[in-house]
Amino acid sequence: MARSAPASRAEVVFVDGVRTPFGRAGEKGQYWGTRADDLIVKAMIGLLERNPKLPKERVDDVAIAATTQTGDQGLTIGRTSAILAGLPITVPGYAVDRMCAGAMTTVTTIGAAIGFGQYDIGIAGGVEHMGHHPMGEGADPNPRFLAEKLVDPAALNMGITAENLHDRFPELTKERSDRFGLRSQQRVQAAYEAGKIQPDLIPVAIRSQEGWGLATEDEGRRPETTMEGLAGLKTPFRPHGRVTAGNASPLTDGATVSLLASADAAEELGLGVKMRMVSFGFAGVAPEVMGIGPIPSTEKALRTAGLSIDDIGLFELNEAFAVQVLSFLDHFGIDDEDPRVNPWGGAIALGHPLAASGVRLMIQLARQFEEHPEVRYGLTAMCVGLGQGGSVIWENPHYTGKKK
């Protein structure tokens, strides 16, 4: 039956999201013997199994992000992973690269297509196997970037961009960054002990020299972390610097995937609704201080939504570096220990598999919405390599307007 031309904007809903456990990148990591495309396929299969009411042929498109699109992350991974996950051959797919905001961009792109009335249902996610594909592997930056001073040389090293934030904002001290990193570890561990994170993890069969096993938990957690231990860590990006392994996200492998739909399609098929998309924004900043990117992207998303920062009741901010989150909090007048911000911890403890992380933020926000019916709006936001920021504002379908 032919679809009539869309008469008005459709409401976009986040039906569900899942992810693999995140593993530490490298030979000692749990996914060293696992292909990147198998990670995203496993996550996609898990998503489809959790939503049996969804007729697979109703999926209009599959968008999967990867930052290094080569090898087992190449070959238009949105299309190949859709086929491998058992979707009908009639379901198309494509790949996206916006570095750290890859999965966030797949969500906003699929969401925009739904909102415009062209799609009813889409799958969006991301994968990054940093053990197989280190960031920047095989890249050949145009010499004009540096020769014509289009970007500062520091822009090509994310750790240096974080050190630059410490330089630019002296109030963003190493002690504050370390304390934020410690709090991330503590909050993630508390969330694990309360069983809040595990329900959205899809176990992955893994193979090592010892044989076959099962990845069921995030590998990067360090609950034994102390301020004393953090104070003694090396500063790999600059002698006597302030960025360390304790206040930055580790190199990580993992995959995330989400199911988006129009509100009408979700109702028709009896699918659940965990969040409603309100607005999104992407913005550019000087690449050498890319960590401030979420500030203008959030201002753009707020402006589009007709909201202010005071309307946001929950924040899921990607912890690429603690200093980056702190710069965001200072700009908007939010306390370092505000309980609305990353209440279950973040990437410093869980890891940041680049293009996958955006949907991880959304998965956690959706769960927190269930626990907080007094909160109407939440924000997922992240900095992006080469000087960008990305932000998405979501509405809580469980909102009652009543204080807990």
The C-alpha atoms of residue 248 and residue 235 are separated, in whole angstroms, by: 11
The C-alpha atoms of residue 279 and residue 283 are separated, in whole angstroms, by: 14
Per-residue pLDDT of 72-131, as tens digits, reads 999 999 999 999 999 999 999 999 999 999 999 999 999 999 999 999 999 999 999 999
Give percent of the chain above pLDDT 70.
98
Please compute the mean of the pLDDT values over residues 17-42 and round it to a whole number: 97
Per-residue pLDDT of 305-342, as tens digits, reads 999 999 999 999 999 999 999 999 999 999 999 999 99
Q: Could you tell me if residue 371 is inside a domain?
A: yes
The per-residue pLDDT for 190 is 98
Please compute the mean of the pLDDT values over residues 17-32 and round it to a whole number: 97
Confidence band (pLDDT; 50, 70, 90) for 1? Answer: very low
pLDDT of residue 10 exceeding 70, the answer is: yes
Give the CATH number of the domain where residue 386 resides: 3.40.47.10
pLDDT of residue 234 exceeding 70, the answer is: yes
Q: Could you tell me if residue 343 is inside a domain?
A: yes
pLDDT of residue 146 exceeding 90, the answer is: no
DSSP 236: T
Q: Is the Cβ–Cβ distance between 25 and 209 less than 8 Å?
A: no
Nearest alpha carbon to residue 67 among 121, 167, 137, 151: 137
Q: Could you tell me if residue 34 is inside a domain?
A: no
The per-residue pLDDT for 9 is 85
Least confident of 3-17, 134-148, 149-163, 192-206: 3-17
pLDDT of residue 6 exceeding 80, the answer is: no
The per-residue pLDDT for 5 is 52
Please compute the mean of the pLDDT values over residues 275-288 and round it to a whole number: 97
Confidence band (pLDDT; 50, 70, 90) for 3? Answer: low
pLDDT of residue 253 exceeding 80, the answer is: yes
Please compute the mean of the pLDDT values over residues 258-276 and round it to a whole number: 98
Cβ-Cβ contacts under 8 Å for 108 (sequence gap 6 or more) = 280, 282, 390, 392
Q: Could you tell me if residue 354 is inside a domain?
A: yes
Please compute the mean of the pLDDT values over residues 167-184 and round it to a whole number: 97
Q: Could you tell me if residue 341 is inside a domain?
A: yes
Number of domains in the chain: 1
Higher pLDDT, 3 or 268: 268
The per-residue pLDDT for 151 is 83
Torsion of CA 282, 287, 289, 293, to 10 degrees: 0
Residues in the chain, total? 404
Please compute the mean of the pLDDT values over residues 387-404 and round it to a whole number: 92
Cβ-Cβ contacts under 8 Å for 276 (sequence gap 6 or more) = 11, 12, 13, 14, 263, 394, 395, 397
Q: Could you tell me if residue 121 is inside a domain?
A: no
Please compute the mean of the pLDDT values over residues 14-21 and round it to a whole number: 98
Query: What domain range is 182 assigned to?
Result: 152-197+278-393
Q: Could you tell me if residue 297 is inside a domain?
A: yes
Residues with a known catalytic role: 100, 352, 383
Q: Torsions phi, psi of 233, nearest 5?
A: -75, 150
Q: Is the Cβ–Cβ distance between 147 and 84 less than 8 Å?
A: no
Average pLDDT, the chain: 95
The per-residue pLDDT for 92 is 98
Per-residue pLDDT of 65-76, as tens digits, reads 999 999 999 999
The per-residue pLDDT for 402 is 76
Q: Could you tell me if residue 344 is inside a domain?
A: yes
The C-alpha atoms of residue 250 and residue 304 are separated, in whole angstroms, by: 34
pLDDT of residue 365 exceeding 60, the answer is: yes
Least confident of 146-150, 251-255, 290-294, 361-365: 146-150
Q: Tell me, what amino acid is at 340?
A: R
